[in-house]
Structure formats: structure tokens, C-alpha cells
Structure 1
Amino acid sequence: MSSAADAPPPAEAWLGGCLTLRQPPRGAHRAGTDAVLLAASAGAQAGETVCDLGAGTGAVGLAVARACPETRVMLVERDPEAAALACLNAEENGLSARVRVIEADVTAQGRERRSAGLLPDSVDLLLTNPPFFEPGRHRASPVAARAAAHGFSEPGGLEAWLRTCADLLRPGGRLVLIHRADALPACLDALAGRFGGIQVTPVQPRADTAAIRVLVAGVRGSRAPFVLMPALVLHGPDGRFTDRVEAMHRGEGLS
């Protein structure tokens, strides 16, 4: 018989109740506004195979699966406990028939990735929130799972991560990622030669502040020009979410 310590964390409403998620307790890595913005930027279409790469407990990919019933979704996560919660979340939201969880290291060599089920040219839309830091560039969290989610263990991690994105996507497939604003040059360097039609949306806390995040979209193999999109502003003068961002948190307009 399982002990109370073995029981999964309680289910919580997410995206205004569009989903219920079981997530680690606060202090560990949990889905927040970054995941909301990424899910809201997905643009999934009927019949597509969608991959949430570095899925954690599955928030982004499950949101897309719920909003677009004719998609097939892969949740890729290397942490066994997070992957197990992603499986449970898919089941409890009635999405198991269209959602597959793959436990794999995104930055592993090609043969290892493919043996885990990450096959080349197999994805139409890839959504990802990569770890934010290269080793030695930040103070790692004392919580091991949070530290692993926020930082790469080896130099060149972002390059390897985005190389895997290109490998998984079909020619013409679409990538959407969210990252720190100051990491934009590194993101663009890693995407060069693999993606075109790059669109960058700065994400600002308020209209009069510098961006803290960027949403970056691109198309594998495209030669379309770069586009800098209008900024997405999170908070109004009163400190509350803007109407647009509040609607995103309720899951409105998600596709």
C-alpha cells in the first residue's frame, strides 16, 4: 500500500480551469506565466503533431491538446518524476488517447534520442521553454529538479537543444520558444541556418520597462525575413495583468 508520502501532489486548476494539473510543491519548477504565454502562442492546427520539448508536468502541451482536439501531442521530459506527473495529468484531463509522454534527454546524441522515440522530421509544431542558463552563469537552486529545469549541465546546452528542435521538425515545421530577453542573441545564433521567417515578440513587465522575455517563432528551412513584432506588455499601471494577458491566463483564444 502506498504511503501518504508517495501520493501525487493535489490537482490544481490551471488556465482558468481549462485543465487540472498535478505539479511539484512550490519551490520546485512549476508552470507559470512563461508556460501560459508559450501555450497562447502555439497556433496549432487540426491534424498536426505537436511536441512540447522539456515539458515538465505537461502544462503547455496539454493546453494545446485540450484547445485543438484534432492534434496529436508529444510531451518530452527527462526528469522521471515530472514525466510521471505528465502522464497522470494527461490521463486525468481525458487526453491520454492523443498525448504521448517520452522520457528523454533533449541534448543527448542523436542515436540515444532516436532510441527513446524522438524521430527526425516527425513534428509539425514544436513548443519549448529551454533551460535558461549555461553552467556557471547563475546561482543554481538547491532543489535538484528546479536546478535541472533552469540550467544546462554542459556548455553549449542551448545550441544542442535547438539543434534537436530542428532535427525533430519536418521541413516547413514551426518552432515557438520562450527565453530570457538577454539570451536573444544566443537564440538567434543557434537558429541561424536552420530556421527562417523568425518573428521575435518582446515581453515587457510594463509598457515603460525593458523586456524580460522574448517569444521567438521560426520555420524550419524558411528563407523569409526577420520580423520584430510589437511588444507584449504583461501589467498595466495598476500592477494587474493587462486584459490580453489576463485572457491568456483564462485559456481564452488558445489554439
Structure 2
Amino acid sequence: MSPPDSASPPESWLGGRLSLRQPPRGAHRAGTDAALLAASADSKTASGMTVCDLGAGTGAVGLAVALACPEARVTLVERDPEAAGLARRNVEENGLADRVRVIEADVTAPGRERRQAGLLPDSVDLLLTNPPFFEPGRTRSSPVSAKAAAHGFSEPGGLEAWLRTCADLVRPGGRLVLIHRADALPACLDALAGRFGGLEVTPVQPRADAPAIRVLVSGVRGSRAPFALVPALVLHGPDGRFTPAVEAMHRGAAP
């Protein structure tokens, strides 16, 4: 993919408050998952926090949080050089360079390599992440290399390594929120066990009468609070349109 120019104009996000450059259609692009993840950062609780968008792509989640939380300082972490380049441009074009930085790093790299890149232990108050969805061999890879890398891990045990890095970055008492496939919930809970407590799972259903397709999982590092399964978030009403709550999340208007 060539660097963004006038042929790849920015798209309107959050009701026009965020200008977001993304790769061409067919590549990995931010959508509803990103909107739901960004909405999990309540502006009241995230104000003044150090926030990390881990696996940020072009920065949609972290930039949305930076807009909603004017006192938050945000780090976007992305390993793909082209996506990281778009993220840097998005930071500049949205006037957020004073509070948002981009770190180009592999989330699953050894600790020493991550620290050299600037990912320091116990440095994050709120970490938001949309990990790759598939382990090797679990699905047919996209012919678009960047999309394949965004959707799947290259080595077995990738989710465990990813969430281990999350636990390294989040300070004790800090919060993690992730979004994943619904059928990956057991693997997510296994990887979080002993690292995060007070786990709260929100099923995400396409319709009220349909099984969940995503889960939002929230936890606090070191907490001993009990597990909670909370009411589902329903994406679409009977008319096929987004529900009012989800539509508001797309506009950045509701946590």
C-alpha cells in the first residue's frame, strides 16, 4: 500500500468529530468492533488516565478515547509499519499530537524488545485491545498480507502471549477491556486467570434472538472481585438498523 494522499481521503468518524484515514477496502479496517471498544472508555473514568490502544491499526479506538477524554494521554501500539504510518497521520490531522503518540512494536515480542520500543511495565491505567482473532491454522488467511496479520497470529499461543503483555503493561489496579469472538471466550478467560480479576463479560448479539458473535471482557489487574456476566448488547433492532444505544456509540455519544 502506498502512503496516503489525496486519492485516499479521510473518512468521517464519531459523527464527524474524528477524521480517520484507513487502508483501501479489502484490507483490515476499523468498524463496529472499534466503536464498541472505544465506547467502553467512559469519559468520566478515563479522564486524566494513561490509556493504551494495543494493536491499534490506524488508531480509531485510541483517537476516539482521546477526543472523549481531553485530559487522557494515549499510546497507540501497532506493529505494521504502514498502519502505524496512517495512525501517525491521523494523530496529526486530528490535532492530537500533544496527547497521543504512536509506538511501532510487536505486542508478542520478548519483554526486552518491548521495553526497548517504549512499552514499559506497570505504565497503563486503561488498556483497550482488539487482539487478532485466530490462531494459526484455524481459518483461511486473507490474501491481503496486512489483513491476514491483523486477523490471525503467526505462532501458536498468540492470544496467551498477547494478554500476558497486557498484564505486563497495566499497573496494579488498572483496567483492561478487550473485544473478541464469542467462541473465544473460554480461551480469553484462561489467559486472564491469575492476572485480572473482577472480570465482567458483555455478550454482543447481532439481534435480540441471535447468539452472541462478540464478547467485551473487562477486568482489573490483581483484583479478587467475582466474575460477572452482564446483560447483552444488541446491535440491530427488528428493522435491521443499529439500536439507538449502538448508534450513539458510533457517534461517540454514549459509553
Give, in whole Å, the separation in 2 of the partners of 1:197 and 1:126: 15
Other structure's SS at 1:16 match: helix
Output the aligned Cα RMSD.
Answer: 0.9
Aligned twin of 1:233: 234
Alignment of 1:89-238 (within 5 A): 89-238=90-239
TM-score, normalising length from structure 1?
0.96
Aligned twin of 1:26: 25
Give, in whole Å, the separation in 2 of the partners of 1:151 and 1:39: 21
TM-score, normalising length from structure 2?
0.96
* TM superposition shift of 1:229: 0.5
Other structure's SS at 2:76 match: strand
Q: How many residues align?
A: 250
Aligned twin of 1:12: 11
| Identity fraction in percent | 83
Give, in whole Å, the separation in 2 of the partners of 1:156 and 1:227: 26
1:141-180 deviations in whole A, cap 9, x for unaligned?
0000000000000000000000000000000000000000
Other structure's SS at 2:194 match: coil
* TM superposition shift of 1:45: 2.1
* TM superposition shift of 1:46: 1.9
1:77-135 deviations in whole A, cap 9, x for unaligned?
00000001101001000101000100000000000000000000000000000000000
Alignment of 1:27-106 (within 5 A): 27-43=26-42, 44-106=45-107
Amino acid at match of 1:72: R
Give, in whole Å, the separation in 2 of the partners of 1:100 and 1:250: 23
Equivalent residues of 2:48, 2:69 under 8 A apart: no
Give, in whole Å, the separation in 2 of the partners of 1:220 and 1:191: 9
Give, in whole Å, the separation in 2 of the partners of 1:60 and 1:38: 7
Give, in whole Å, the separation in 2 of the partners of 1:169 and 1:111: 17
Amino acid at match of 1:175: L
Amino acid at match of 1:32: G
Give, in whole Å, the separation in 1 of the partners of 2:4 and 2:84: 15
Give, in whole Å, the separation in 1 of the partners of 2:101 and 2:130: 18
Gaps of 5+ in 2: none
Give, in whole Å, the separation in 2 of the partners of 1:208 and 1:6: 43
Give, in whole Å, the separation in 2 of the partners of 1:125 and 1:239: 33
* TM superposition shift of 1:70: 0.2
Amino acid at match of 1:181: A
1:41-66 deviations in whole A, cap 9, x for unaligned?
12252221000000000000000001
Give, in whole Å, the separation in 2 of the partners of 1:245 and 1:141: 28
Give, in whole Å, the separation in 2 of the partners of 1:160 and 1:7: 32
